[in-house]
Amino acid sequence: MALSVHTLPLRFLVPRPQPTRSQGAPSPRLPLSSAPAPCRHKNQEDNHSYYVSRLYGPSEPRSRQLWVDVAEANRSQVKIHTILSNTHRQASRVVLSFDFPFYGHLLRQITIATGGFIFMGDVIHRMLTATQYVAPLMANFNPGYSDNSTVVYFDNGTVFVVQWDHVYLQGWEDRGSFTFQAALHRDGRIVFGYKEIPMSVPEISSSQHPVKTGLSDAFMILNPSPDVPESRRRSIFEYHRIELDPSKITSMSAVEFTPLPTCLQHRSCDACLSSDLSFNCSWCHVLQRCSSGFDRYRQEWMDYGCAQEAEGRTCEDFQDEYHNSASPDTPFSPYDGDLTTTSSSLFIDSLTTEDDTKSNPYAGGDGLQNNLSPKTKGTPVHLGTIVGIVLAVLLVAAIILAGIYINGHPTSNAALFFMERRPHHWPAMKFRSHPDHSTYAEVEPSGHEKEGFMEAEQC
């Protein structure tokens, strides 16, 4: 059975999961025409390439053992988020006390949403509920409906727990309150605990908000825009998803996800190329990274030509090439020009971007071409360019000095002039709003509202 794809609003494309009991997308090494690897079924256990999930029913002791009793935890480590506990469709960023491995990537910052999920991406985008999430029960919850509803999080340095406590579904308040949690363990395990589920999850309507239970991750790449050559279009690919069977989500049940090894864990060429993982691991000598090419570092993998570099080469070839082309005084660089070596999300602040529809990333393997090309070596710098740079530096310096002066003299005429004429809203990121799709507002961790809305659409 071949993977199929479907187009989302705003020209966004993701692979459609196969209709199995508990689903996970196939390994990135599989071609588009190949069927997903069969899941193992043993005591509610499924293998999803990146994680092994185990479902524990209400009668199994393990389900109670996995539940983290936040009420009995150290009060200094438990925080009730006052904004999330009193509003609808809000999201807030939280910094973890430890590095949490998610699909092989170490994360320190996450975003908690009132809708029963955690956004795991480092770039907030309009598809907030579509990709890069940990969702014990994503739905249209409104913690602001009742004074007893709270969103609580707990961090003791070993585990980070988010608990949606006595929250109600918008428009379904008469069905009762939900209490459930998601626990992120330092070793990479993810646990969903369900204490009170007053209605069958398949009955929950997804017309106003997506309803999901599971995990998802994606990578973002930038492609040249045909309309504006100097700008780039941002495309997001969901390369893996796990969807649990919603009918199995009941009160006092639990789901445990145990991470499987990925290419990113290998730190040397020998360990990478000798790996017996189900992924097709390749070593990129320039980045000193082992990867299948399908992870959050996809942009770098393309920019530095890692796929072409690794074709038919051994670790000895890389070492010989390095010694022949590099010297102690001249470090090796893949390009003569300057290219970023960080994740592709850093491009966003400096480039004009827009969402674009892309074909399934499995098709053609590394057929996605590099977005950046080397700069021409030895290009002369014209006088006009130097003058422009100097003027730009002076302008920035003037703006900074003016800001410092206004901040230090709030009653001056200049400060009053700008305050009277400032816009009513200063959005951090602004997207078109559609009434038919769920929209989230991001709030600062300190509790102050942040003006700027993120549009989240169902995939």
Per-residue tokens: 229:
């050559």
Q: Dump pLDDT digits (tens) for 335-353.
A: 333 323 233 332 223 222 3
Q: Are 157 and 170 in contact (CB under 8 A)?
A: no
Q: Dump pLDDT digits (tens) for 50-77.
A: 999 999 999 999 999 999 999 888 888 9
One domain, residues 194 and 298: no
Task: Evaluate whether residue 314 is within a structural domain.
Answer: yes
94-100-105 Cα angle (round to 5): 110
One domain, residues 255 and 267: no
Per-residue tokens: 66:
């996995």
pLDDT band at 320 (very low <50, low <70, confident <90, very high): low
One domain, residues 240 and 280: no
> What is the average per-residue pLDDT within 412-421?
52
Q: What are phi and psi of 378, to 5 degrees?
A: 80, 20
One domain, residues 252 and 280: no
Distance CA 228, CA 348 (A): 16
Tell whether the torsion through CA atoms of 286, 287, 292 and 295 is positive or negative: negative
Q: Are 51 and 259 in contact (CB under 8 A)?
A: yes
Count structural domains, the chain: 2
SS3 411: coil
Provide the CA 436 distance to its chain's centre, in angstroms.
Answer: 24
Last residue of a domain, one of 259, 283, 312: 259
Task: Evaluate whether residue 99 is within a structural domain.
Answer: yes
Task: Evaluate whether residue 383 is within a structural domain.
Answer: no
Last residue of a domain, one of 208, 235, 259: 259
Question: Which domain range does residue 315 map to?
Answer: 263-323
Distance CA 252, CA 254 (A): 7
One domain, residues 288 and 168: no
Q: Dump pLDDT digits (tens) for 151-163.
A: 999 999 999 999 9
Q: Dump pLDDT digits (tens) for 268-296.
A: 999 999 998 888 899 999 999 999 999 99
One domain, residues 238 and 157: yes
One domain, residues 161 and 269: no
One domain, residues 164 and 296: no
Task: Evaluate whether residue 361 is within a structural domain.
Answer: no
In single-letter form, the type of residue at position 339 comes to: L
Task: Evaluate whether residue 104 is within a structural domain.
Answer: yes
One domain, residues 82 and 189: yes
Map tokens 């005084």 to a residue.
Answer: 329
Task: Evaluate whether residue 37 is within a structural domain.
Answer: no
| Crossing angle of the two packed helices 383-408 and 413-421, in degrees rounded to 10 | 100
What does the DSSP assignment read for 315-383?
HHHHHHHHHHH-BTTB---S-SS----S-GGGGTTTS---B-----TTTTSS-SPPS--PPPTTPPPPH
pLDDT at 118 over 90: yes
One domain, residues 255 and 281: no
Q: Dump pLDDT digits (tens) for 20-49.
A: 334 444 434 333 233 333 333 334 677 788
Residue of 11, 242, 295 lying closest to 126 (CA atoms): 11
Distance CA 112, CA 124 (A): 12
One domain, residues 201 and 287: no
Task: Evaluate whether residue 456 is within a structural domain.
Answer: no
Distance CA 278, CA 49 (A): 8
Pairing state between β 178-185 and 449-455: unpaired
Task: Evaluate whether residue 411 is within a structural domain.
Answer: no
One domain, residues 216 and 145: yes
Distance CA 50, CA 24 (A): 9
Q: Of the given ranges (51-65, 102-116, 359-373), which has the lowest mean pLDDT?
A: 359-373
SS3 275: coil
Q: Are 350 and 232 in contact (CB under 8 A)?
A: no
pLDDT band at 227 (very low <50, low <70, confident <90, very high): confident
Give the per-residue pLDDT at 347.
28
| DSSP classification of residue 77 | G
